[in-house]
Amino acid sequence: MGESADIARELSIEASARRIRELERASRRENLGRAWYKFSRNPLSVVGLVLVAAVILLAVFAPYVTPFPRHAGAFTDFAHAKVPPGVKYIFGTDQIGRDILTRIIFGLRSSLLMGVLVLALVVPPGVLLGLLAGYFRGTWVDVLIMRVTDVFLAVPPLILALAVASVLQPSLWHGMMAVSLMWWPWYTRLVYGLTSQLRNEYFVAAAEINGASLWHILFREILPNTVSSVLTKMSLDVAWVIIIGSMLSFVGLGVQPPEPSLGSMVADGARYLPDQWWIAVFPALAIVVVVMGFNLLGDGIRDMFASEQA
């Protein structure tokens, strides 16, 4: 008799555990649905999503979708140099006869690579330093980390990035490293502010009393509560990093020729203004479209998280 009661109890425990899991799954689905609803309520966010998706697809499949894939490299065709926009060359050709549309689409690759890799390099150390400084607020750890952060924030990031990029041999990778070196403090500062508030919460105190390790407190208790702010900042930062990257290549300290990049195409084309205006203007507009796409998407993500917290 005792045995069957045990089995019955176990079964009911199992059943309720299963039920809880089901409910959790359903609520997660519901949250996802609600997040999408909040995101899609603003049509501009959807426009941003579509633009970004289009840019990514174009960049990935550049060799297959561009009319003249060979023009992406060191190709010359002086017979067709400086052809104005038309049927064959939709955006015209540049000073040595390369199709501008093709080079814009290939140029998206380095812009995207820059945006993604810089954030991948910057966010983990930036967040970690912010967590440490915030949790140990008032100790020498805080002082050391935040004072170093202040030093890096003492000059606009573009200037130091330019200086670092110029000291190294100019290339896409060095440009990325230079921008990364200047970008982490913003994440440290953001997470520092959040962490120094969160560390006073009861759930952190509870974990401390239970003897949880520093690792557990930082990454299991505090970090999850900063994720939405960090993600929001990241989604808005992609656009900024792309702008800074295009500025670096505009002054010649980023992607090197013959590799195409939007910034250096604008710089090259600027020499042929005003008569061959298309050489500079179309890559310039391409930058605006890409940045706008990421910005709209970032705003959508921010709104999604913002109303979730409210």
Partner 1 sequence: MPLLSFIARRLGYSILVLLGLSIVIFVIARIMPGDPARMAVGMMAPQWVVDRLREQMHLNQSLPVQYVFWLRDALHGDFGLSLVTQRPVMSDIVEFFPASLELVLAAGLLAAVGGIGLGVLSARHKDTWIDSVVRVFSYTGVVTPSFVFAILFVLLFGWVLRAFPVIGRLSEQVAAPPVVTGLMTVDSLLAGRLDAFVDALHHLVLPALALAMGSIAQESRITRASMADNLGRDYITAARALGVSERVVMGRFLLKPSLIPTVSILGLDIASLFSIAFLVELIFNWPGLARYGLSAMLHKDLNAISAVILVLGAVFALVNIVVDLIVAGLDPRIRLAATRSQ
Whether the CB-CB separation of 58 and 72 falls below 8 Å is answered with no
Find the shortest distance in angstroms from Cβ 110 to partner 1.
15
For partner 1, the binding residue among 154, 202, 211, 309 (CB under 8 A) is 154
**Residue 158: is it exposed, middle or buried by C-beta count within 10 angstroms (0-12/13-18/19+)?**
middle
Candidate segments 2-10, 106-114, 142-150, 185-193, binder of partner 1 by CB under 8 A: 142-150
Please choose, from the candidates 240, 300, 307, the residue with its C-alpha nearest in 3D space to the C-alpha of residue 50. Answer: 300
288 binds partner 1 (CB under 8 A): yes
For partner 1, the binding residue among 49, 75, 77, 152 (CB under 8 A) is 152
For partner 1, the binding residue among 51, 247, 297, 304 (CB under 8 A) is 247
Number of residues that bind partner 1 (CB under 8 A): 40
For partner 1, the binding residue among 250, 276, 301, 302 (CB under 8 A) is 250
177 binds partner 1 (CB under 8 A): no
Grouping H, G, I as helix, E, B as strand and the rest as coil, residue 232 is helix
Q: Can you list the alpha helix ranges (DSSP code H) found in 214-258?
A: 214-216, 227-250
Whether the CB-CB separation of 165 and 186 falls below 8 Å is answered with no
Pick the closer one to partner 1 by CB: 5 or 154: 154
Candidate segments 77-85, 100-108, 121-129, 242-250, binder of partner 1 by CB under 8 A: 242-250
DSSP-assigned beta bridge partners for residue 99: 93
Find the shortest distance in angstroms from Cβ 106 to partner 1.
19
Grouping H, G, I as helix, E, B as strand and the rest as coil, residue 212 is coil
Whether the CB-CB separation of 207 and 223 falls below 8 Å is answered with no
Task: Find all residues with CB under 8 Å of 157, minimum gap 6, and list them.
Answer: 179, 182, 183, 244
Task: Find all residues with CB under 8 Å of 289, minimum gap 6, and list them.
Answer: 51, 55
For partner 1, the binding residue among 164, 217, 223, 241 (CB under 8 A) is 164
Pick the closer one to partner 1 by CB: 217 or 243: 243
What are the Cα distances from residue 39, in Å, to 25, 226, 236, 252?
Answer: 21, 20, 15, 38
For partner 1, the binding residue among 7, 143, 167, 227 (CB under 8 A) is 167
Pick the closer one to partner 1 by CB: 26 or 163: 163
Task: Find all residues with CB under 8 Å of 241, minimum gap 6, and list them.
Answer: 114, 115, 118, 119, 179, 183
Candidate segments 67-75, 112-120, 137-145, 271-279, binder of partner 1 by CB under 8 A: 271-279
49 binds partner 1 (CB under 8 A): no
Give me 45's structure tokens. 């966010």
Find the shortest distance in angstroms from Cβ 131 to partner 1.
22
145 binds partner 1 (CB under 8 A): no
Interface contacts to partner 1, rule CB under 8 A = 147-148, 150-152, 154-160, 162-167, 239, 243, 246-247, 250-253, 266, 270, 273-274, 277, 280-281, 284-285, 287-288, 291-292, 295
